[in-house]
A and B are shown apart, each in its own frame.
Chain A
Amino acid sequence: MKVVKLSVNFLLLCISILMVGSLPFLIYDIDRQLKVLKMIENNEIENTLFLYDSVQFNVGSYFNHVKEMFGNIFSIQDFQYYKFKEYHPVFPELNQLYLMSVKYLIAALCIGLILAVITSFLIMLLPTHQRDKVKKVLFVVESLPDIFIIFLLQFLIIWIYKKTDILLFQIVNVFGKPAFFLPVLCLSILPSIYITKYLLISLEEEEKQSYVEMAKGKGLSMYYIIFVHILRNAIFTLLFHFKTIFWFSLSNLFVLEIIFNIHGIMTHIKTYGSMNPDLVTICILLIFIPYYCLFHLASAVISKKIKGDISL
């Protein structure tokens, strides 16, 4: 039953993404505009002063496009996109960019999770009134926009380099030398604070349970109780917030790729997405499909495990 519901939702989400991704075809006449762009780039027209277009509602061509996309989605390899005077195939090129972005994202999420577990573990060891102070600091850092943190870190590295001539990390992507460590670190900071926040809430909830009292009465140390008993129960609740965390990290990834000039999926969208709405749709689908499958697989496995624990 659950599988049926999930697959229906999956299908609905795909349709929803396709419909949102086709919206540019509703308000613009993309095909005509692309022809004009091609003429400009081939120097066939001198100026564009005589051209004027306004926002329109081509409902017919919009639904045609949605239908067309839905039909073509299984032959995803054949998609083409416009890039300076000619059409190029989307695929072998996108694979590499996609893998690059995913590598950053997964590495950052893993580091973020580890950092979050460590910080929340340390915060839990503090007495309550000090905990509140730390939480306030966390709130302020969490409220900072991602663009500020990423910009500041890059600026800091440049500043250190200028002062001491030591280049701590490769800052931006130049000549095929990818910067890896610093971007991943930048990317993991905000998600880790986010995870810490959720983890702390469930840790504190868990701390009030009677088994903790019992363990204390048994004379177990607080380190042991938190790390072995509480953390194990609390960490699964992160799953409920994982969607928000993931969204948040994606937004971070987007800012990061642009500021650090990493050639990933987001910069690809920035460069060619304006002329090729379909490219953006494909990119979103490429993020969505693996995420959806993996997430629901993981939550199925974990919920089974939790139920097993409870029955024991």
Chain B
Amino acid sequence: MNRLLKEKSFVFGFLFLSTLFVMSFVYTYGIKDPNDKPQAVLYNENQEVVARAPFPPSEDFLLGSDKEGKSVLTNLIEGAKYTVGLAILLSLIRIVLSFILGYIFYTLPKLLKDKIEVLCDAYHYAPTAIFAYLLLSPAIIAFSWSYDEKVKLLLTIGVIVALAIPILSVLIMREIEHVFSKEFISSCRLIGGSSMHIFLKHVTPFLIPKIIILFVQQVGQVLTLFAHLALLDIFIGGGKQVIMEMDLEGNLLMESFSLSSEWGGLIGKSWNSFMSYPWMLFGPILAFTLTILAVNFMASGLIRWNQREYNVPSNKKSKSSPSVMKAPNEHVISFDKVKLTEKSG
């Protein structure tokens, strides 16, 4: 743990995310005054109209304001807990489910494993957002009249979780396979450890750091997916389509509104007015970028920490390294020479 704290990039990313989170909660439940209505029109002392919302970035509104006169920055801080919280929650569900599925895949025969890997490869021929769109858009965009908000929300969460599971569980399966192929596992088998015992006692300690890394990477991927889905008018806060006006040909112009100030929703909301009020789009995109950057920093710090902890030989061994396995290993050499020479050759 101490060594992890020495990884500057990890600490930096972690601090950024936790500050964002704490700020979001403190703002919503502490600082924010519920009676304070945003002003869409600003007056000077003589009650003359000075400006109308959206206001461009200035000293009062650091990142500008939206159409109702609310500051983009406070919107972003308010939405941070939903967006980042959801990303963390969804990645956690993804990882847990894929871990279970990955173990099940591992127990299958080799031919089947390879074929499953090929099947999962199909996800590499289109962006993830397109697959999500394929599954979500009928309920959220095309036929949105017949589904209620709760179904839409659960469906969105379900699809975002489910999309990653095939690739992720194959990845975890290969990881489990890799650990099982290590020498000390075969020696443990020889002394008579059952596969469940081996899995829990000897494989899991190797897997946990990898899983943590995967988890952090997943948070970044979920955030990217949120941003991409926002481009496709799908938001987690439940995209509500409101008819704004009719164009010349009589087609209804719909504008999507997000319920909470979730970042994806903020992107979708300000999408149409990008040319006239670019700052409304810039704020949420910047927020996504900084958060994804922080997550990636955390991931790279973790990867370096993991490499240092497990690959570089050092005197101080960590708890998870199998020092107990030393004795049986020596025995193996004496009566399992054939196997060992086979491996080295």
* Main SS class of interface, A: helix
Q: Do A250 and B142 touch (CB < 8 A)?
A: no
Complex contact B127–A251 (CB within 8 A) = yes
Contact A266:B130 (CB < 8 A) given known A13-B118, A17-B122, A143-B293: yes
Interface stretch of the complex, out of A47-55, A176-184, A302-310: A47-55
> Contact: A28 with B119, CB < 8 Å?
no
B137 within 8 A of partner (CB): yes
| Chain B residue contacts of A21, Cβ below 8 A | 134
In A210-259, which residues have CB < 8 Å from any B CB?
243-244, 246-247, 250-251, 253-255, 258-259
A16 located at the interface, meaning its Cβ lies under 8 Å from any Cβ of chain B in the complex:
yes
- Beta-carbon contact of B147 and A144 below 8 Å: no
B137 touches A273 (CB 8 A): yes
A151 contacts the other chain (CB 8 A): yes
| Interface membership of chain B positions 114-139, coded 1 if the CB is closer than 8 angstroms to chain A and 0 otherwise | 01001111111111111101110111
Q: Which of B127, B282, B296, B297 makes the CB contact (< 8 A) with A250?
A: B127
> For the complex, what is the distance from the CA of A295 to the CA of B67, rounded to whole Å?
49
Given A16-B119, A274-B141, do A145 and B227 touch, yes or no (CB 8 Å)? yes
Considering only residues 103-122 of chain B, those with a C-beta below 8 Å from chain A are 115, 118-122
Candidates A51, A143, A253, A270; contact of B146 at CB < 8 Å: A51
**Bound-state Cα–Cα, A280 to B285, Å:** 27
Q: Which B residues are in CB contact (< 8 Å) with A52?
A: 146, 148
Count of CB-CB pairs between chains A and B under 8 Å: 144
Q: Is A275 an interface residue (CB 8 A)?
A: yes
Contact status A251-B128, CB under 8 Å? yes
Which one of A51, A140, A158, A283 contacts B278 once the chains associate, using CB atoms below 8 Å?
A158
Q: Which of B313-336 contact A (CB under 8 A)?
A: none
CA distance A54 to B151 in the complex (A): 7
From B133, B155, B293, give the contact of A270 (CB < 8 A).
B133
Name which of B124, B141, B142, B285 has the most chain A CB atoms within 10 A of its CB. Answer: B142
Chain B 147-189 interface residues, beta-carbon cutoff 8 Å to A: 147-148, 151, 155
Residues 268-312 of A, flagged 1 when their CB comes within 8 A of B and 0 if not, give 011001110100100110011001000000000000000000000
8 Å CB contacts to A: which residues of B289-325?
289, 292-293, 296-297, 300
Chain A residues whose CB sits within 8 angstroms of the CB of B223 once the complex forms: 145
| Any B CB within 8 A of the CB of A134 | no
A168 proximity list for chain B (CB < 8 A): none
Q: In whole angstroms, how far apart are the Cα atoms of A33 and B141 in the complex?
A: 12
Residue of B nearest to A15 (CB): B119
Q: Which residues of B contact A36 (CB under 8 A)?
A: 143, 145-146
B103 to chain A, nearest CB (A): 22
Residues of A within 8 Å of B151, CB to CB, are: 54-55
Interface residues of B, count at CB 8 A: 49
Query: Are the CB atoms of B124 and A27 closer together than 8 Å?
Result: no
A275 and B142 within 8 A (CB): yes
B296 near A143 with CB under 8 A, answer: yes
CA distance A247 to B130 in the complex (A): 12
The answer for the CA separation of A9 and B124 in the assembled complex, in Å, is 14
Choose one: B119, B131, B147, B282; the contact of A155 (CB below 8 Å). Answer: B282
Whether A20 touches B143, Cβ cut-off 8 Å, given contacts A12-B118, A33-B138, A54-B151, is no
Asked if B240 lies at the interface with its beta carbon under 8 angstroms from chain A, I say: no
B231 sits at the interface (CB 8 A): yes
Let me know if A148 and B130 touch, CB within 8 A. no
The reply to whether B124 and A243 form a contact with Cβ atoms under 8 Å apart is: yes
Given the known interface contacts A28-B139, A254-B228, the answer about A247 and B134 at a Cβ–Cβ threshold of 8 Å is no
Contact A55 B288 (CB under 8 A): no
A251-B127, A251-B128 as given contacts; A48 in contact with B145, CB under 8 Å: yes
Known: A16-B120, A247-B124, A280-B133. 15 other contacts (CB 8 A): A12-B118, A16-B121, A27-B135, A28-B138, A30-B138, A36-B143, A143-B296, A144-B292, A147-B288, A148-B288, A155-B282, A247-B127, A254-B127, A274-B138, A287-B126
Complex A-B: 16 CB contacts under 8 Å: A9-B118, A20-B122, A144-B289, A144-B293, A147-B228, A147-B288, A244-B124, A247-B127, A250-B127, A251-B129, A251-B228, A258-B232, A259-B231, A270-B232, A277-B134, A283-B126
A-B complex: 10 closest residue pairs judged by Cβ atoms: A274-B137, A48-B145, A53-B146, A143-B296, A274-B142, A16-B122, A251-B127, A288-B125, A33-B143, A148-B289
